[in-house]
């Protein structure tokens, strides 16, 4: 049975495109694997705290040398990392805010990406000393964008700093293989009209199809 961790980052609850895409992805997954376990983390409504000097001090102190205050400083981080470790699939429902990550999602990333929990650091590896402690996971990023044309060769190429950031985190720090990282996006939200409705509907269909395909891939013996 697969475990999926759904991470919602939209500040909206009603009219959120990314929440709708995540619903459709999970509904499709459950048509293949009804017993799949879904963990939910809504950072859009309940953002984790930003890291502090006390957090940094605790994270870089050996676990057996930490005092109670250090354990307290890392308690939220420990909880979030535990969720990531349990998950086979990390499902990010994340709108593009000001060409980057919502602040709440960046706070989640900083709480989770922690030395000796998620990655190791060894200068004996040379110029690339970081190695993930995780493996075997997939990452799906479902996004919405107010504008359009962020693809290679598009009029806003290079303006999207959300997807490249999450892809780097996934492949360099979460141990995700390049072919286990997936993206779906709806565009034109600020423009409205037919272009937006078409893009949104295409994203919905793609999210549903991807949910079914990944469920079938992870559970080859499930019916359907």
- Average pLDDT over the chain, rounded to an integer: 96
Q: Report the b/e string of 157-186 with b at 16+ CB within 10 A.
A: eeebebbebbbebbbebbbbeeebbbbbbb
What pLDDT sits at residue 62? 95
What pLDDT sits at residue 69? 98
Q: Which two tokens stand for residue 50?
A: 């930003």
In the chain, the N- to C-terminal Cα span, in Å, equals 15
Render pLDDT for 95-124 as a digit per residue (tens, 0 to 9). Answer: 999 999 999 999 999 999 999 999 999 999
What pLDDT sits at residue 221? 47
Domains identified in the chain and CATH numbers? 3-218 (3.40.50.360)
State how far the Cα of 62 lies from the Cα of 93, in Å rounded to an integer.
34
What pLDDT sits at residue 169? 98
Give the containing element (helix H, strand E) for 17.
helix 17-32
Q: pTM higher than 0.75 for the full model?
A: yes
What pLDDT sits at residue 223? 46
Nearest CA-CA partner of 22 in 12, 123, 158: 12
Q: Please list the ranges in the chain whose pLDDT falls under 50.
A: 221, 223-224
What pLDDT sits at residue 110? 98
Q: Report the b/e string of 18-29 with b at 16+ CB within 10 A.
A: bbbbbbbbbebb
């Amino acid at each position: 049975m697969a475990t999926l961790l759904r991470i919602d980052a939209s500040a909206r609850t009603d009219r959120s495109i990314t929440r709708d895409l995540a619903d459709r992805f999970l509904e499709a997954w459950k048509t293949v694997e009804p017993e799949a376990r879904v963990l939910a983390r809504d950072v859009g409504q309940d953002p984790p705290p930003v890291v502090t000097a006390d957090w940094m001090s605790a994270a870089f102190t050996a676990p057996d040398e930490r005092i109670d205050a250090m354990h307290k400083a890392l308690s939220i981080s420990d909880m979030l990392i535990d969720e990531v470790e349990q998950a086979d699939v990390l499902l990010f429902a994340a709108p593009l805010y000001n060409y980057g990550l919502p602040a709440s999602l960046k706070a989640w990333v900083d709480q989770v990406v922690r030395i000796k929990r998620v990655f190791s650091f060894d200068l004996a590896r040379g110029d690339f000393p970081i190695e993930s402690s995780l493996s075997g996971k997939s990452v799906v990023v479902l996004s919405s964008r107010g504008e359009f044309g962020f693809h290679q060769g598009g009029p806003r190429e290079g303006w999207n700093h959300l997807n490249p950031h999450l892809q780097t985190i996934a492949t360099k720090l979460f141990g995700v293989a390049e072919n286990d990282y997936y993206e779906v996006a709806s565009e034109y939200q600020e423009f409205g009209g037919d272009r937006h409705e078409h893009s949104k509907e295409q994203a919905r269909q793609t999210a549903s199809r991807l949910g079914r395909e990944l469920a079938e891939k992870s559970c080859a013996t499930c019916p359907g």
